[in-house]
A and B are shown apart, each in its own frame.
Chain A
Amino acid sequence: MSNLPPPFDLLPFLLQGLWITLFITLGGCAVAIVLSVLFGVWSKSTDPILRWLSAIYITVFRGASALILLYWFYFAMPELTNIRLDAITTGILVLGANVGAYGAEVVRASLDAVPKGQYQAAAALNLNRWQTMRYVIFPQAILSMIPPFGNLMIELLKGTALVSTITVTDLTLQGKFLRDDTHRSLEIFGLLLVIYFLLSMTITAVFRVLEHRYSQGRDYGGGN
Chain B
Amino acid sequence: MWKWEVVWQVMPDIVSGLVVTLEAVAGGMILALLLGLLWAVMRRSKSHVISWPAWGVVEFVRSTPLLVQLFFVYYVMIDIVGRGFSPLMTGILVLGVHYSCYTAEVYRAGLDAVARGQWNAAKALNLTPYQTYRYVILPQAIPPILPNLGNYLIAMLKEAPLLSTITVLEILNEAKIFGNEHYRYLEPLTIVGVLFILLSLLAGLSVEWLRRRTAAMTS
B219 at the interface (CB under 8 A from A): no
A-B contact count (CB 8 A): 122
Chain A: interface residue total (CB-CB under 8 A) = 41
Are the CB atoms of A67 and B189 closer together than 8 Å?
no
Q: How large is the interface on B (under 10, 10 to 19, 20 to 34, 35 or more residues)?
A: 35 or more
A179 at the interface (CB under 8 A from B): yes
Are the CB atoms of B68 and A175 closer together than 8 Å?
yes
Listed stretches A74-82, A114-122, A206-214; interface member: A74-82
Task: Determine the distance from Cα of A76 to Cα of B176 in the docked complex, in whole angstroms.
Answer: 11
**A99 CB to nearest chain B CB (Å):** 13
Mask, B176-197, CB within 8 Å of A = 1, is 1001000011100110111011
Are the CB atoms of B65 and A172 closer together than 8 Å?
yes
Mask, A143-181, CB within 8 Å of B = 1, is 000000000001001111110110000001001100100
B208 at the interface (CB under 8 A from A): no
Are the CB atoms of A162 and B193 closer together than 8 Å?
no
Are the CB atoms of A75 and B197 closer together than 8 Å?
no
Contact A185 to B76, CB < 8 A, known contacts A65-B161, A68-B193, A159-B65: yes
Contact A201 to B63, CB < 8 A, known contacts A68-B196, A76-B189: yes
Are the CB atoms of A193 and B197 closer together than 8 Å?
no
| Of A79, A179, A183, A197, the contact of B64 (CB 8 Å cutoff) | A197
Residues of A within 8 A of B65 (CB): 157-161, 172, 196
Listed stretches A5-13, A32-40, A41-49, A55-63; interface member: A55-63
A200 at the interface (CB under 8 A from B): yes
Which B residues form the contact surface with A (CB < 8 A)? 1-2, 60, 63-69, 71-72, 75-76, 78-80, 157-162, 164-165, 172, 175-176, 179, 184-186, 189-190, 192-194, 196-201
Which A residues form the contact surface with B (CB < 8 A)? 59-60, 62-69, 71-72, 75-76, 79-80, 154, 157-162, 164-165, 172, 175-176, 179, 183-186, 189-190, 192-193, 196-197, 200-201
